[in-house]
Amino acid sequence: MILNFIIHYLVMKPAVNTNKTQTNWNKSSRNSFIILTIVLFISIFAHLYISNKMNANERKEIIRLPADCSSSVELLRDNHHKDLTRSLYIADATIESSKYNQLKERLLEMILANEKGGKIQNVSLLLINLNDASRMSINEGATYFPGSMIKVPIMICCLKEEQEHPGFLKSYLYFDKAPQYLPDQKYQGFSIKPGKKYSVEELLKYMIEDSDNNATYLLISNIQVKALYKIFTDLMIPDADKIETDTFRISVEEYSKFFRVLYNATYINKELSEFALSLLSKSKFREGLTKSIPTTVTVAHKFGEKGQYNILDFSESGIIYYKNSPYLLTIMTGGTNVPTQAEMINILSGEIFRYMSQN
């Protein structure tokens, strides 16, 4: 439309000039201007078209399962049957990839050596390549107390509330005093102070980056427990009604779902999922999953510890963004000494990182 207007204006309505030479010169100038204008617009349109095509290609990604993966795929969808759409949360290859066979043998040797030495009583592990969905697991059926790892679904619950009621993150909550009973935690960072107001966004940062139990307590006191339960039931994680009890346990497979829906941005929107993973990437705990990984590699992760009857469960889960080959790793351990268990996670994570970076 703009191009037609310029041509119409310049060609159909030439300027009046009594000087013939000047008129010829003006015609020549107009013709040159028209040609340049057409070339300019064609160049702009071509650039926009090519850019849009490139951007479209960048936004698209075709994922093909490796040849050694079963064609059987398990889909986890939104279970609200009244809706006309059913969101896809997770798509899983159901068979382990044989490309991890040697790695698995090596990891099993390391685990058995530590179990025989009495340092560790139980270890479970799940590795998922987020590019092609290939996987490898060890003792995946065992369950553990999640401890502070439960703070990730609490964060998702808060961000779901923000998505449905914008402005929730900016609302302020008053922290009167710490509750009388809070679980002990060996690894902890900064904590919120009594007598101050904090925005929900600030509380999430304390809860995730510093694993602050006071911030967690204040957030839980101001969200609907049913909304938290719903996250577990939506992701088909059993015993949601036991989350607040001392009996709730979870497996590596079940827990990994929280990180997977954040990475896929399929449970809350992309902006909020990005915010969640950004907080997780700033976790100050460096004694487990990330200890043997270069600090230049981004890792979004969360640890948890909880003991009962002289048995301590210490676990950690995270996404390791190694170059263009991100992978999800969840390791859960049972034992009697948290630093020893954290070191076990470090050893296994380091071995997996070396394998993933060389293959």
Tokens describing residue 44 = 């702009």
Work out the mean pLDDT of the chain and round it to a whole number: 84
Residue 94's φ and ψ, nearest 5 degrees, are: -95, -5
Q: Residues 65-75: what's their mean pLDDT?
A: 63
Tell me what pLDDT residue 12 has: 43
Report the alpha-carbon distance of residue 292 to residue 277 in Å, rounded.
20
pLDDT tens digit sequence for 3-26: 343 334 344 444 444 455 455 545
Mean pLDDT value of segment 313-325:
96
Whole-prediction pTM value?
Answer: 0.80
Dihedral sign (CA 210, 172, 183, 301): negative
Q: Which of 8-12, 223-227, 254-258, 270-274 has the lowest mean pLDDT?
A: 8-12
Q: How confident is the model at residue 36 (pLDDT cuts 50, 70, 90)?
A: low
Distances (CA, A) of 81 to 45, 85, 91: 45, 8, 19
- Look at residue 56 in the predicted model and tell me its pLDDT: 44
- Model pLDDT, residue 309: 73
Pairing between β-strand 327-335 and β-strand 122-129 as defined by DSSP bridges: antiparallel
Question: Which amino acid is located at 234 in the chain?
Answer: D
Phi then psi for 6, rounded to 5 degrees? Answer: -65, -45
- Lowest mean pLDDT across 73-82, 99-108, 280-289, 313-322: 73-82
Which pLDDT belongs to residue 42? 63
The better pLDDT of the pair 296, 26 is held by 296
- Tens digit of each residue's pLDDT (9 = 90 or more) over 216-253: 999 999 998 999 999 999 999 999 889 888 889 999 99
Report the C-alpha dihedral over residues 56, 58, 61, 66, rounded to 10 degrees: 150
Mean pLDDT of 199-208: 97
Predicted confidence at residue 136, as pLDDT, reads 96
Whether 34 shows a pLDDT value over 90: the answer reads no
Q: b/e map of 23-44 (b: 16 or more CB within 10 Å)?
A: eeeeeeeeeeeeeeeeeeeeee
Residue 71 pLDDT grade (very low, low, confident, very high; cuts 50, 70, 90): low
Give the per-residue pLDDT at 3.
Answer: 39
Given a cut of 70, is residue 168 above it in pLDDT?
yes
Mean pLDDT for the stretch of residues 188-213: 94
What percent of the chain has a predicted confidence (pLDDT) above 90? Answer: 61
CA 61 centroid distance within chain: 17
pLDDT over threshold 50, residue 58: no
